[in-house]
Chains A and B, each alone.
Chain A
Amino acid sequence: MSGIGTGYDLYPTTFSPDGRIFQVEYAHKAVENSSTAIGLCCKDGVVFGVEKIILSKMLVEGTNRRVFSVGEHIGIATAGLTADGKRIVQNARQEAKNYENFTSDIIPIHVLTERLSIYVQVFTLYNYIRPFGCSLMIGSYDEEKGPSLYCIEPDSVALGFYGCAIGKGKQEAKTEISKLKLSEMTCKDAVKEIAKILIKTVHDETKEKEMELEMSWVCKETKGKHKLVPKKLIEEAVEWVKGQENEED
């Protein structure tokens, strides 16, 4: 089987003649195979939503987590190989704890993002370790600085976003997100909007099995702490989405 990169795609240590590192690009493909995750940076906080495909009725609800807390004040949502995502989150937790022990301050989100970015980049340098096959969205809320959302891709590029989507349905999701007025939206509204995008736009009921919504937020209401969105709110959001569908029909 020969693809575009044949001959130059065995190791991340080889550039192709047109200046690409194929192993890193293949890592992006791994992310695109996974289900979608969305992050929105609203007026008063950051909300994450992940479309989790239920692989089997035997699986316990809430297992197979895709959203994690780092310190108390930062949340990370992953897409791609979950195990890779967990490894990076583990590293993030160490960084945050070390920073706090050393300086007695909690780690600012842009410092954590920078450090994770450098960490991810290291794995694109050698032929005996592979790049991470996952993208991460990192979000936090600060009383003075407001909400912040960053996204790190497998090539280690870290960018700040107002709204971001990663995974299979990221293109459609990004289109929907660009229609939203994020600077005026509260986190409670964002929960509904994310549910709408994940259920209606991204999730294809004919092709895929049922989905479970995993949502978390870090906002004024949670006093800057990263927590899972209460189940009740998610259920209300799902009801609202169903209501919208009926209206449109």
Chain B
Amino acid sequence: MELIESPLQDLKKEVSTGTTIIAVQYQDGVIIGADSRTSSGSYAVNRVTDKLTPVHDYIYCLRSGSAADTQIIASYVSYYLNMFSIEEGCLPTVKKAAHMFREFCYQNKQYLLASIIVAGWDEENGGCVYNVPLGGSIIKQPFAIGGSGSSYLYGYCDIHFKENMTEEEAISFVSKGITEAIARDGSSGGICRIATINKDGVKRRTIYGNELQKFWEK
């Protein structure tokens, strides 16, 4: 009688980015952050995943849902954004990137499991965050959270978010959020990856597990 499920069963489950992703607008641009766990059932396929995916020079997307689906969509959008920006001779807006993601997610909704946050900087509008959740709708928000770990962060974000934060405040907001979600969500874990996107470009940093702030724990 099999009481314990064989570990090999995990590998047959689809690889998903059960995850925590956050993007927030700040004074000069956006700060984006994510955890680094990719799971297949209860097996962590990758504990140092990079869920911060560039689609253009100043535009990133944060992926949650099926890893395969979100990777391929990001690669399509990146392809088209590059084509358009060369044709037009100017950098694409975050709005354009977000709408492209929406087109793919909505038109193929039967086949996909993809919830994406698009965040970046453009000259017309400064820092922008767009949420493209499961059904393929698109909403512009001052901050967005996604993934399985985000359920634990709605209260935290509602209380701690402020408009026009400085870079430090925004990084603190994001990193504390990811830390809290990692602590509470089984599908989120590993390190906290953060990127700052503003007119000067993209600056990435990593906060390792042992450096993450410790909140209430016994």
| Interface of A toward B, CB cutoff 8 Å | 101-105, 108, 110-111, 114
Contacts and interface: CB of A to CB of B under 8 A. Distances in A.
A3 to B, nearest CB: 40
Chain B residues touching A, majority SS: helix
Interface string B78-110: 001000100110000101100110010000000
Interface residues of B, number: 10
B99 A111 contact: no
B84 to A, nearest CB: 7
A70 B80 CA distance: 23
B87 A102 contact: no
B74 to A, nearest CB: 16
In the A-B complex, the 4 residue pairs with the closest CB atoms: A104-B99, A103-B96, A111-B87, A102-B103
Contacts of A108: 88
Nearest to A104: B99
Contact of A102 (B88, B93, B95, B99): B99
A111 B100 CA distance: 18
Given A101-B103, A104-B95, A108-B88, 7 more contacts: A103-B96, A103-B99, A104-B96, A105-B93, A111-B84, A111-B87, A111-B88
B137 to A, nearest CB: 13
B172 to A, nearest CB: 33
Nearest to B98: A104
B84 A103 contact: yes
Given A111-B87, A114-B87, A105 B103 contact: no
A7 B184 CA distance: 82
Interface in B45-63: none
Contacts of A103: 84, 96, 99-100
Contacts of A104: 95-96, 99
Contacts of A102: 80, 99-100, 103
B95 to A, nearest CB: 6
B106 to A, nearest CB: 11
B103 to A, nearest CB: 6
Contacts of A101: 103
B86 to A, nearest CB: 11
21 contacts: A101-B103, A102-B80, A102-B99, A102-B100, A102-B103, A103-B84, A103-B96, A103-B99, A103-B100, A104-B95, A104-B96, A104-B99, A105-B93, A105-B95, A105-B96, A108-B88, A110-B88, A111-B84, A111-B87, A111-B88, A114-B87
A59 B99 CA distance: 46
Most interface-central of A102, A108, A110 (chain B CB within 10 A):
A102
